[in-house]
Structure 1
Amino acid sequence: MAEGRAGNRADGRAIRQLSRAAAVTALAGAIGGMALLAAETLAARTRRYASPDMQLAIRSTVGPAKAPTLRLVLLGDSTALGVGVDQVADTVGGQLAALLAEGPGGRRVELSSVAVAGSHSSDLNIQVARALVGLRPDVAVILIGTNDAVRLARPTESADQLAAAVRRLRDAGAAVVVGTCPDLGGTRAFAQPLRQLLGWHGRRLGRAQVEAVRAAGGVPVDLAERTGPVFRADAGTLCHDGFHPSADGYRVWAHALLPAVVAAVGGLRHP
């Protein structure tokens, strides 16, 4: 029996030593993972990204002169402005305008953007004011969420701020289409595992945005779901910085947004 008790004590010591070793290993792994994420975050922040081109903020008109006029205004972050390309025609707004002008019942589209590069959902309030005072949109397209996800903002808080912007535009008579947070897991600017983490957080934000936009009377378009696989498969959908869309990437987004925008145009009361 003594030998049995000694054996049990030895087994107990071995288990405790194994547990401590596992705990130390897990802690070391966690610390190492945090250090890796910190290094990747620093690298992402110091990376050189495409700069806004002020010419992209110029208003443009697309479509036949005698066609019914449609005021299309984009709000949001750098993607709504078109950072990553150097022609208005290549921006998501420019490509949407061309599709609306060329499609059945084509319109003369007056395209404008009040978007500001680097914007978060909390910045939409100022953009909405600018759109309503000077532009009076028939259809407003909002692209927002990337910067909220990158700074790991609370999804519900960001979604509530977006919903407030949607309600103000709807109350003013504008139809509203929102392109939710894109699939950050498809970007090349971030290394793993940071890319995976941001992709996961972006999907959480996107789901919150969808619910909030619907509740506010807007039409959400889940860009991560609809276009994420394309961006993951084709690096050419991103511009040189591996973060902002290229002309091809904006074209993919424009076609994803088009059905909702067409439906919004069809629901307008005036010609």
Structure 2
Amino acid sequence: MAGARALKALMFAAGSIGGLSGAAYGLLTGQSKRARTIIGVPRDLPLNADGQYLPDGSGPLPPVRGDALSFAVLGDSLAAGLGAESPERLPGVLLAKSLSDELARPVRLVTHAISGSRTVELEPQVDRALIDPPDLALVIIGGNDVTSRLSIGASAALLAGQVERLMAAGTTVVVGTCPDLAIIQPIPQPLRTVASRYGLSLARAQRRALDKIGARAVSIAALLSPEFLARPHELFSADRFHPNGAGYELAANVLLAPLCDVVRRAQGLTGVGRVASVVVS
């Protein structure tokens, strides 16, 4: 999800999408300042519970290669799990446990995601992941791109380029595209509509770029926005900007089936093929 710093650049995004009059720009500037005051700046680092998870639900245990499926998580605060109340409720942990249960094999979780990351900052995370290429990788990135001076098309192309690097290393990729920023209620109107238009436009561009290279994309906006809009008090953390544990559990439930599908397809084609999943926020 976009961090508070993203609000500083929403006016630029609005101008790049459709243009603003002087009065409208002034209105959005004032709203952005008020929204940043409400949201505040996150003071806590995301929790971490990397390690090995077993089909019996135990973990995290010290990593052991063996028959374990290596699962890397890359991206921004949504991938890192900022807002989760405990390590057990992190999206990577929820998915590692579920994958281990569904696939009946150990899963080794490694988190490279960094809160606040933009697509231009994904490359170093991929560099670290490729030191020991994962079998499965999940990347969530894009919501913070509103702070970037790159065009939406250029941002999507950067994502596809990093996904291609993972694929070239034998990794299968699933991407969760940019969420709908309209779900973040502390952003007042009409600024929230501007943010929503940006996020949805980026999500469409991401999907087009990923389709061209044969990477799997999952629409976070289409699958999660209705629930977050209907139940914000149940699914957001105290900052009202990032999901809480229940919100991450909902996201994990949406992502699990595509992740299992790409793993099983890769195994069916190559026996023990590598698989990577990328999610974008």
TM bucket, shorter chain: 0.7 to 0.9
Residue 175 of structure 1 is matched in structure 2 by 172
Residue 243 of structure 2 is matched in structure 1 by 245
Does the aligned pair in 1 maintain the 2:177–2:207 contact within 8 Å?
yes
TM-score by length of 2: 0.79
Per-residue CA deviation, residues 76-120 of structure 1 (Å, 9 max, x unaligned), is 0011111111423211111111211222x3221111111111111
Residue 81 of structure 1 is matched in structure 2 by 80
Question: AA paired with 1:36?
Answer: L
Residue 220 of structure 1 is matched in structure 2 by 217
Question: AA paired with 1:144?
Answer: I
Greater radius of gyration (CA): 1
Count the aligned residue pairs. 240
More helix, by proportion: 1
Distance of 1:225 and 1:166 partners within structure 2: 22
Q: CA deviation at 1:52?
A: 4.5
Q: Report % sequence identity.
A: 34
Does the aligned pair in 2 maintain the 1:167–1:217 contact within 8 Å?
no
Residue 196 of structure 2 is matched in structure 1 by 199
Change (3 A) 1:152 1:243: farther
Unaligned runs of 5+ in 2: 1-19, 57-63, 274-281
Distance of 2:203 and 2:92 partners within structure 1: 21
Deviates more, 1:105-114 or 1:203-212: 105-114
Residue among 84, 94, 112 paired with 1:114: 112
Aligned ranges 1:120-139 → 2 under 5 Å: 120-133=118-131, 135-139=132-136
Does the aligned pair in 1 maintain the 2:85–2:245 contact within 8 Å?
no
Distance of 2:114 and 2:91 partners within structure 1: 15
Q: CA deviation at 1:151?
A: 4.9
Change (3 A) 1:227 1:64: closer
Q: CA deviation at 1:30?
A: 4.5
Does the aligned pair in 2 maintain the 1:144–1:180 contact within 8 Å?
yes
Change (3 A) 1:34 1:54: closer
Q: CA deviation at 1:243?
A: 1.0
Residue among 26, 39, 43 paired with 2:34: 43
Unaligned runs of 5+ in 1: 1-28
Per-residue CA deviation, residues 155-175 of structure 1 (Å, 9 max, x unaligned), is 101100100110000000111
Question: AA paired with 2:118?
Answer: H
1:270 counterpart = 2:272? yes
Does the aligned pair in 2 maintain the 1:181–1:206 contact within 8 Å?
yes
